Structure 1
């Protein structure tokens, strides 16, 4: 007899953004602000990994 399972799907999206900044922290801050302002919208082309994990319900 079949059992019920819950399967968690995890996707990792990743994009490299080249930017000029005074230092590493400032570069991260600028790109983070751009991301939250929807200047960088990751999609299926940015998919770098996926995994599937099942456990009994």
Structure 2
């Protein structure tokens, strides 16, 4: 799967560091991925009214 990299500003780094520590993740990229997946799951639940599994395509 292709990897994307992003530049984070100071406030985003602070947020990602807090998520990383709370969830026990290895780095900021994993924290960002966790946040995106969480947001997608919540949007899917709102849209369909039930949970959907997220799989790599």
How high is the TM-score relative to the length of structure 2?
Answer: 0.30
TM-score between the two structures when normalised by the length of structure 1: 0.30
Which of the two has greater strand per residue? 1
Structure of larger gyration radius = 1
Higher helix share: 2
Bigger relative CO (Cα 8 Å, ≥ 6 apart): 1
